[in-house]
Each structure stands twice: as structure tokens, then as C-alpha cells.
Amino acid sequence: MRGARRGALVVVGLGSSLGDRQRNLELAARALAATPGVELLASSAVFRTAPAGGALSPFLNAAVLLRTRRSPRGLLARCKEIEARLGRRPTRRWADRVIDLDLLVWEGLRQDTGRLRLPHPRLHERDFALVPARQVAPELVHPGLGLRLRDLPAPTVRTGCHAVGVLLPRRPVATDPALQYSSWPRPLDADSGPPPAPRRPAMKLFLDTANLDEIRQAYDWGVIDGVTTNPSLIAREGRDFVETIHQICEIVQGPVSAETVALDWEGMVREGRLLAQVSEHVVVKIPLTMDGIRATRVLADEGIDVNVTLCFQPAQALLAAKAGAAYISPFIGRLDDISTDGVELIEQIVEMYGNYPDLTTQVLAASVRHPMHVAQVAAAGADVATLPFSTLQRLVKHPLTDIGLKQFLADWAGVPDTDIAGAVERWLAARAGR
Ligand code: E4P
């Protein structure tokens, strides 16, 4: 990441078209300013923008200039968290929303990972994005177009945006306790309640295999979010490593962990950078050693997702999170094998991360051996469980399900018309004719 040590300059766009729009913008800007590793340097005026696309209400828009040591992925995750805390719910594109935070420009960085495109591809086209951005960072060079923001041509999408106020009347100071992330969000006015709690996404299921047939089958069932591999799993298949990873990414179109084998951090970084070029879905898997932690920091700063693997105790998980890992993989089955409670490790890590909202590392329960493990780690709050194909198959199995189904079908065989589809079609046709 450019400017990793001193921190990179980043312009974030803010928009709101629902509720107390001014307050939403101000709360979001303050939350960004209170985020560890982020310094707020400047805030724009607030601009009123006519509704565009599917939105019905006018937007208020603004921009802030930040200096940050966080990775692009880390800052994006923070923006999503702030949106959720302010009550944003998933909507269709362009619809009205409580708050919208967009990474517009990242100093010196061009990136297109699918999830994150920098600079924002439409920044220069829209007045409501460019006008506030220019105000906070006129000299910042647009890394795609090579021009300072102040020199960019007039945007083609014009919404008549015009200044109607200021974003932050009092400049926030990071030491103000009201702005500390741990105490945020809090009502600014006595009568305004806290924003609704965010809904957590359901635990994701990854498949722990490099076998393409298994992956295709499981993917067709529609419940698989990603895949993890390791050198042993790849070796077991006896196929070309890179081509296998590429094909898995093509099937899954979600996170696919591919592990490095170098032992020194420079070697890990080199392998990681190359693997990340195989597909935007590659997550670089790195073992939990001191060199691994150092390599994780470097790759995370470059916006590459890292899964830190072979974690067997909570302190290791803390280090990985501080290094910017996207995932930590505690191996629960291998702990059970040596008479230590693997699920307890997941509980400890989830609790520990929960104490520090600035840690965005996802807990990926690995070395999962049986369906009970899956239920236990979900109850413990793991973000992901990765399971072998055989365990996935066993998730649906229960003898009482089979016995119950057999009984239902036996009873059904006794009714005069057993053809449900035919009966429904006839009934629908009759209703349509009425
Ligand atoms: C996945 O990321 C791990 O490499 C895998 O779950 C290890 O599982 P095992 O302990 O069954 O080999």
C-alpha cells in the first residue's frame, strides 16, 4: 500500500437520503474520525443533490479526507460496519438509504478486486461525488486519470448539487471521549435513540478440499460460500496447483484460500502476491509464524486478503488480527485429537475479537470433523466453518428424518390422488377460469 508507514490519504464520500440526513452524515464522519488508525484531516460542506436513479428523496452528500494506516480492505470493512450501525439495510442500487460510505480515491492506488474498485469508477462522472471530493483534496492526483482532482473535467452526471451547510461544525478531536470508537454510536441529542443493532450475516460454509468434483457438487447445492485448500489437500489430488486454484475460483466465485509454502516472510510475500494474481477470489493462506505475521502485514497493506492458518491458541489469533488478517483459522479437530477442547478455542477468539470492534478478522473454524463441530462453532459465533465434503454430506443426515419421511410417504400412498403437482396444476387452472 502506498504511504503505508506515514499512512495514505483517502477521500471517502458520504451520502444520506433517509431520516435525519445531516445527523447521519455527521455521525458517520465522527465514527470514521474515531476509528483507530484513521485521522480525519478535512471535511467538506454538505451538498443537496436531486434524487437520482431509483431514489425518491433528495440526498445530502459530503466528503472527508482521511489519513490512514489501515488497508483498503480494512477501511472498507469499517465503512460497512458504520453503515450497518447507523441502520442501513441492504437495498437495491441507487435506492434511498440512511447512509452510504464510498471509498472514492486512495492516494496512488489503482485496484479492482471486484469488491473494491479504486479510484471509484464513477467519481469523475458525478457532480455529487466529485464536488465534495475536490473541496477536501483539490491537489490529490486521481490515480486512474493522472490529474489532480481540481483539474478533472466537469462531470457528466449533474444533479444540481449545491452547498447547504457544513458537515462538522466543530472539528472532531480524536481524544474527545465522545468520539472514541468504543463509546460510539451514542445519541447526539437527548431524544434521539441509538441506531438499531446491525444484523450479523449467517455463518458461512466453506468446503475444505481441492477436489473439483466435490466442489462442483457442493456448489450446485447452493450452500457453499468459499473453499479452503492446503498443501496436503492439493498434493492429494495430484493435479497442477495453480490450474486447480484457478478452476476452483471459477466454480465458486467466492473466497478460495491458497497456501504459501515459503518459510521466510519475503518468500511468503512473493508467493502471496503471485497467487493473488491468479484470481480476484484468491485469499492467500499463510502459516502462523513470526515470518507469517510479518508477511500478513505486508500483504494486507496491499489490499490482499490473508487467511492466517495453523492457529492453536488465542494469543496467536490476536497477533494475526493485529497484522490485518482477513481470516484466522483455528484448527479445532487437531486440538480435540490431543485431548484439548477445540470449540473452546473458537469461543475464546470470538469473545476476544468482540472486545475490540476495530479487529475485523473473521474467525474461520478449520479442521472440522463432524456435524456437531459445525453446530458448536456456529453457536460460538464463528464467521465461517470449513468442512470436508463428507462432513457436509453428513449435515443433512439424521435417522429420525429418514424414518419420518418413510412414514409420511407410506401414509400418503393411501390417499385417492397421490399426484401433488397434477392436483395443484388442475386447481390453479380452475381458479384462473373462475
Ligand atoms: C483448512 O483450512 C485446514 O487446512 C484444514 O481444515 C485442516 O484440516 P485437518 O486437520 O482435518 O487436516
Atom of ligand 1 nearest to the CA of 228: 2
Atom of ligand 1 nearest to the CA of 329: 2
CA dihedral 229, 232, 238, 241 (to 10 degrees): 40
Residue nearest atom 6 of ligand 1, based on CA coordinates: 367
Q: Which residues line ligand 1 (CB under 6 A)?
A: 208, 228, 230, 309, 329, 331, 333-334, 366-367, 386
Domain ranges, ordered by start, for the chain: 8-183, 204-394, 399-433
Residue nearest atom 11 of ligand 1, based on CA coordinates: 367
Element (H, E) at 314: helix 314-322
* 299 C-alpha to ligand 1 centroid (Å): 23
3-state secondary structure 204-237: EEEEECCCHHHHHHHHHCCCCCEEECCHHHHHHH
* 333 C-alpha to ligand 1 centroid (Å): 8
**CATH class, range 204-394:** alpha beta
Instruction: Give mean pLDDT in consecutive 10-residue pieces for the chain, a chain of 434 residues.
Output: 66 92 90 84 88 73 91 86 80 72 94 83 89 92 92 83 78 35 34 45 93 95 94 96 96 94 98 94 96 95 92 98 95 96 96 85 96 96 96 95 97 96 96 91
- Our mutation pick for probing the ligand 1 site, out of 206, 225, 230, counting the most ligand atoms within 8 A of Cβ, is 230
Residue keyed to cell 443537496? 48
Residue nearest atom 9 of ligand 1, based on CA coordinates: 367
pLDDT digit string (tens) for 371-404? 999 999 999 999 999 999 999 999 999 999 999 9
Atom of ligand 1 nearest to the CA of 334: 10
Q: Which CATH architecture group holds 8-183?
A: 2-Layer Sandwich (3.30)
Separation between Cα atoms, residue 261 and residue 310, nearest integer Å: 13
pLDDT of residue 4: 45
pLDDT of residue 187: 33
Residue keyed to cell 494475526? 320
| pTM as predicted | 0.60
Catalytic residue among 80, 204, 285, 406: 285
Active site (annotated) includes residue 285: yes
